[in-house]
Amino acid sequence: MKKLALITGSKGGIGSAISSQLVADGYRVIATYYTGNLQCALDWFNEKGFTEEQVRLFELDVTDTEQCAQRLEQLLKDEGTIDVVVNNAGITRDGVFKKMTAQAWKDVIETNLNSLFNVTQPLFAAMCEKGSGRIVNISSVNGLKGQFGQTNYSAAKAGMIGFSKALAAEGARSGVTVNVVAPGYTGTPMVEQMKPEVLESIKAQIPMKRLATPEEIAKSVSFLVSEAGAYITGETLSVNGGLYMH
């Protein structure tokens, strides 16, 4: 039986790379998509050339606590077990704090931080009972160092790190590891649409003078969920080309 990995935000630049990497590693991936976006998810599924044995599309609103509890409980009944959870869903609503709306704050906290509770809580007890599990939360360099115009995003991404350390302490005796991957600037389709001069100014700040590839982030996740990563828990793996050394 293939191990099962649930990935939120699976259609994004980093999420796609993680999905493809874990399929290549022999996992069956449960790829979540936002409520009502089935056609978009199917287009992604077909574009990536996945089969139904490799990837199951799974409708889930990660900001809806009640829906997550019900649907993930049913998923456990259907599949029997979930071996890996990758919390990757995230949005930005950037703006300087003086002008930030309450809605921009709430949207980012709901999607990037509250989703960790909504998605992980219904699955964590089953992992502990089974005596094994891997949880990887995708944070950001900006959760470590802060970023102008991103108080909401930086707060959520920093919160993910605190959450992960505390949950790692709770899961350790039961063989459940909880870690963070904190990417720096990554060459996703969204980032590569920036103006060339903006991209160049970003690269100039990075000691390695380039963006990460989504595949490099995915391989970090692959390592943490593999047997090679079994003794690592409560850690934040920074994949940022030396942008922020702490």
Which residues form the catalytic set?
153
What's the distance, CA 16 to chain centroid?
11
Q: Vertex 174, ends 125 and 76: CA angle to 5°?
A: 30
